Structure 1
Amino acid sequence: MLLNDKLSHFIRRNYQFVFVLLLFILTGNSITTAQQAGSRANQLSDEQIIDFYRQAQSRGLSEPQIEQAAMSQGYTLTDITTMRRRIAEIRSQGTAQAKDKVTTSSSNARTLPSDVSTRTSIDSLPTTTRREVSGGLAVFGASLFANASLTFEPNLRIATPRNYIVGPDDEIGIDISGASSDNLKLKVSPEGEVKVPNLPPIYVSGLTIEQAQARIIDRLRKSGYQGLGVPGSGTYANVTLTNIRSIRVTLVGEVVRPGTYTISSLGSAFNALYLAGGPNPATGSFRKINVIRGNRVVRTIDLYDYILRADQRDNIRLMDQDVIRVADYQSHIEMTGQVRRPAIFEVLPGETLKTLLSFAGGFADDAYRASITLRRNTDRERQIRTITEKQIDDFVPQSGDTYFVGKILERYENRVQIAGAVMRPGDFALEPGTETVRHLINRAEGLRKDAFLNRATIIRELPNLDKENLTFDLGKLMRGEIADIPLIQQDILTVLSIRDLREEYFITVEGAVNKPAAIPFVSNMSIADLIVNAGGFRENAKPNLIEVARRIREDSAKTGDPVLKIFRFSIDRDLQISPVESSTVGSNSPFRLQPFDIVYVRTSPTYEPQRQVYIGGEVMQPGSYAIFNRQERIADVIKRAGGLRPEAYLPAAQFQRQGQLIGTDLRRILDNPNTEDNLLLSPNDTIFVPRRPEIVSIQGAVLNPALVSYRSNYSFDDYVSEAGGFLEDARDRKAYVIYPNGRKARTHRFLFIKTRPIMEPGSTVIVPFKPFNNNKLSTGERISILSLLATLAFALTNVLRN
């Protein structure tokens, strides 16, 4: 690579200087990196060292100054040694790559000069150069230079332009083939000369590439390459521009970032403008950009030609020391509303409103084209004007004008509408063939069969935009019995359906069917059809008892008469209606459902789904058991489970129903199955018989709530003592015990005799807290009241004594 070649050459000549200079550049790194463990030189990649070399070319300090600055930043001898080794490795790698390139590569691919300028991020632009400068409207053309993917950088792989001017630092390649063979790469010196071995220097600076080629070949022909470039001589020469130089151009005026930029010698005016951020949208002109060469304007660039027509004739190639000046804009004009490209445009003298409209892309599809509204600044205030369509071609805009293109009205000049029970409802044009109600209905392909012919309506818009309702007999109009009604603009004809004038018909099926629901009514539907729509009978259904409840519609019903009719039927599971249906209805015709009928499918009283209970713990066969009959009780299911194990502890057995613990005494139940504690079983009941528990829990208003082991010789108060005793706010008279089977026992008091509950294994002692008294006086309040009473008593004593 070219970069490695330059690096190797530089290091060989200025080894110590580069080393110390790189150390100085390292001082620009972050403090965090400088404070990491180990040598700072080892933390740098080869790419970073190459980057440091690029920066070193722009430094101008002497070697002692650089070394002193590096040492003052805390670099150690270890850093210096490591850097020497890294530089030697890079030098050896660069030398090897350079040799490989010379011996194996014949590519003439060009590369950009290493010192060309790069674009600064658009995010760093000052706030004064925003593209949106008025009411959120963008300046037309500003987005061109905000596009990060549009750089205008020259393509280095194209053929060398024949009018390219050769200058210092260009590299010219000469490939001689045929009777003689050679490959030369000649770099133009700062004096404008190229040096061919064994020949005097050849001056080529300022010549085009064609002129330089002719001069070099002529010199080579005279110095030993006989017949070089002469047709038929057998010796051929090809001169190419292998590497290009950089040039410096200056951008001044109303650009975003004025200054001097380094670009390649193939760079164009657009390339330089992009590097500078383009014209300042707030103040700069996009249409008067001058390229100045030798104090003479050589081209005036109008960016609108490129943006609107992709015309790149003004994108000329720049030369060294060219100056690009962006002038102030002369007139900014806003175009808003219904145009394809609303923006702020720059208009030159002589351009009309028609030209401005073309900049905006013309009218939008829904634009009101008859006139354009203009708001113009005068010396003292603003004025508004209306520009007609005929004036657009010749009207001349002024700076500061704002043009607004309105939108057409949401209104139809010849529309009539038809809705409701016609075959094709919708909008129609008011034209010959649709001028009357009958014509419009015919255009809508006629009435539907459910149309309500006794009445139709027309909603008509009056001149004052109020609405008027016109009602007529549609049946008579269609039969010609009354005159047809003419239509006018914006009329809405509505033809009602008979369904619009009644309730929605449905039939309800309830009870033992798979999908009970309200089903839309269909005429000629039987009960069997309804059962099919409801998904058929459920297992617990009683098909031989089906009831139908029907409304009574007669208005002559008297008070006290039945409000419903009830029909009963018997249907088998194959949905065959038995003869009971005909006798129930009272006629030989089959029974058919009517709107709003409710069909009830009853449940069989003898059908019972499997219900089960669970018994676990210390029983012989724990698990789930089905309830055998409605009279099965707790003792029965324990017997079916094989009885109890020897480890079973009946006082702690628990019986739960719906997740709640029911206080029962299982020991009493098994001793006497006739006791009231032997409850009837319900679905999902749970019986659990544990082993003998060994723990007693003490909770509530005790000093240290705890779990303690059960001791047969301990009383209630002994267990409270195990928990540290009662607290001050404990209600010891209300203390109680919860036994493991769910029963409870509380403290009893008779006169001065207090009886505590008996303790059993697995019990829980609960000591309640006294209720919190918010009305209790604090110590300070009591002292204040006593002081007041003492003062009053002292005053009263003095009064009595006097």
Structure 2
Amino acid sequence: MVEQFKSLPKSEQLRLAEQYGIDPSQLTSAKSQSSTQNQNNYNTPVVQPRNDQSDDSQKQDDDLGFLKDDQNQPLKRFGYEMFAGSPTTFAPVSDAPVPSNYMVGPGDTIKVQLYGKDNEQYELTVTREGILQFPGLGPINVNGLSFSELRDLLSKQIKQQMIGVDINITMGELRSIRVFLAGDAYKPGSYTVSSLSTITQALFVSGGVSDIGSLRNIQLKRQGKVVATFDLYDLLLNGDSSKDLSLRSGDVVFIPAMGPTISVSGDVQRPAIYELKPNENLIDVVKMAAGLKPGAYPKSSTIERYNRDGLKSIINVDLTTSAGQKFVAKDGDYLRVKSASSEYDNAITLVGAAVRPGIYQWVKGQKISSLIPTINGDLLAGADLKYALVVRQINDVGDIKVLQFSPARAITDTASQDNVLLMPKDKVVIFNASNHIRNRYELNRLVKDRVNKIQKISKTKGNNSDNSLVNTDLFQSGFSQLGQEKLGQRHQLAGVVLAKDDAAPQESDLVSTEVEKMLLQLFNDRGLIKLSSEFNRQELLYPIIATLKTQSRAGKEAKVVAINGEIQYDGIYPLVEKATVSDLIAAAGGLKEGAYIQRAELTRTYTDADSSSIAHLNVNVKQAMDHEAGADISLQPRDVLTVLKTPEWQETQSVEIRGEVKFPGNYSIRRGETLEQVLTRAGGFTDNAYLPSAVFVRDSIKKQEEIEIKQMADQLRRDIATRGISKDGTVVNYDDAQKMLTDLEHIKAVGRLVIDLPAISLGIKQADLQLEDKDVLYVPAQKQIISVVGEVQHPSTHRFKSGMTLNQYLEMAGGARKRADTDRIYVIKADGSVMMPHNSFWFSSEDNLSAGDTIVVPLDTEYKDNLTLWSQVTSIFYNSAVALAAIANL
């Protein structure tokens, strides 16, 4: 086998090695071990295993024009895969029971056992003349006898001539016969097989049928006449081997070319290309394809058939009728069995904050209370009990209308109007009262899986995509991008506005696209329906609003309204049937604490054939919520309700006072309250308080510092890219520059505001300041130290002594280093301010130091050692000398 593998062409070796997962180098270098293993194979030619239509040319045909079914999968010819894994050698049958009708012939061995008066055992071989030489009986002619007839003949003669002896006759080794495989066999030729071999075994010996051979008209020819015809479909489809006849020496198994074929695809159990016999109809073809799938719609099947003009024609057939089943198939036909619709005709879909969201059967007279019998048992904790929707299809083209109800009233008061009578195909949507009440892990994992599949298909790669997918709320980020206007997708807002390029989609774009598709298929996707309890209000509303917008036409506005201002969830909402202002407020989750209930503004658009105008209406929110006549105004499409904030209203704000005050802690403040007033409420300072070192931190300043740090990093990045950061334009090492940028970007903003707390404590109004939410004041205890940092020999902290100068503190720290910039020494005061010297020779007497100060000696970035300096001076002298010499030679 190895030697024969070596003899194959290189391309065939690679194909077989790839097919069976073998390393070709191992086979080509292995020793031959086939001489003794195949002696019992009667010198049968080795037939290599094959896969039908697996060579390169056939693969190319499949890619370019081979028949494919509705799922874009290549259709294979049925039955040929039976020979795809045929063995490389065929061992003849030698130990199988011999049938009684087996025809004994030359070369067969007969085993005869005598017992009784005489005990003997013989192995007799039938001669070429058909004679069996039996000791004591002489030659017996057995030519043309079956095994049962031979046994009867021998038993009769032995019993007549050997009295008192019983006999047992069995077959020994069987003869070999030579048969021929002709026609469209995979390897036609002459083969030596066992005398017990049948037609199918001969096919396996030759490797099966070629790609164009027939499986349904295999002929067995004997002495030039067809003695049997074997339909391999009977064996494959029905397990019927009654016509799989035994072979005789000299028989010819003839495989004619393939007959007419029909391709079958769609919702059948086994899509494939089937060979036809004359007058077979479609019911026979469907049986070959193992029948229809449960989701098939046989009433709308089609036949594609070539007409006389060489064009394809479509014939509709109903496989459920007698006429459709008896429709006679022709060569080249293509039968497509269509699928049934995925829509339900009597279903109700429940999504959102329900214990068991899903698709339920609709029953006539069913209401909300029947679908959701209890609040605690059928709705999740945290479900919105005041606002829910019923989305109802109103015509065959998919237009919808929306009904609003209160789940609490529908369940507790079954006679109320909120207990809506349900209709087939209704969608009931239950919302969460809060958008952040559910854990969205499973939902985000679903988005991640689907996005990953898209990325694999499109072969896009992202940096650290796994981390970004895991650490963020994918569904929220994808949904937020859906509402962005085109302006938000521009690359630049200042100067020229650039259009978005057609580069490969980024991960955020893939997430946004996939989330949009998921939302639009919310009511049909069982995976999403199961996880719909994790959706927030805007996400559940998205497919409803999108459908309502698509229903808008010229002169027919989209049935949507908007609300903003002091409500829980502003945004766009569907305009429900008989909607009023109070319904819209309930849809938005209700009013916030600071909402102004005496007046809200309703903006309404009036459109006629010539123009469009806008009017503003005043609405008394309190009266509308109480459903007073005339106050709860009915809404129209495109209405916008703005709920105002109560004048002078402010949310609860607080500041924190720490350290050396008599009553440290958090204090609530009113608008315009100052630091002095809060310190008075805190009881003033303790005797140990050191006011000049007070630290005041403000959140808004911290955010501003973060912006400035980013701007500084961007500026530094530009400097590095253009001319470097050194004065002479020398570009610094790239890695060092990147580390510098990284360190700069990770600097944490402090948000410290320099205040003069001693002046504030004295009641000086100019020093006082108004407080903001989350301000923090820290008043430390008495400090008696001064720190010296930077380019000194020993940065250290010293006890403060009144009257000591800056020079003295520097000498206590060992003095300045060589690379110190002594002209730029500065002092960070205890209150956070910076004091610079008034002259270049240390500090004058006017620059007083105080406890808690820090002396900073900066680094001289332009420092050059003597070696560098002299090398530059030498270069200048050398260049000057060269220039002078050149001038002198003129």
Normalised by the length of structure 1, the TM-score is 0.49
- Pick the structure with more helix per residue: 2
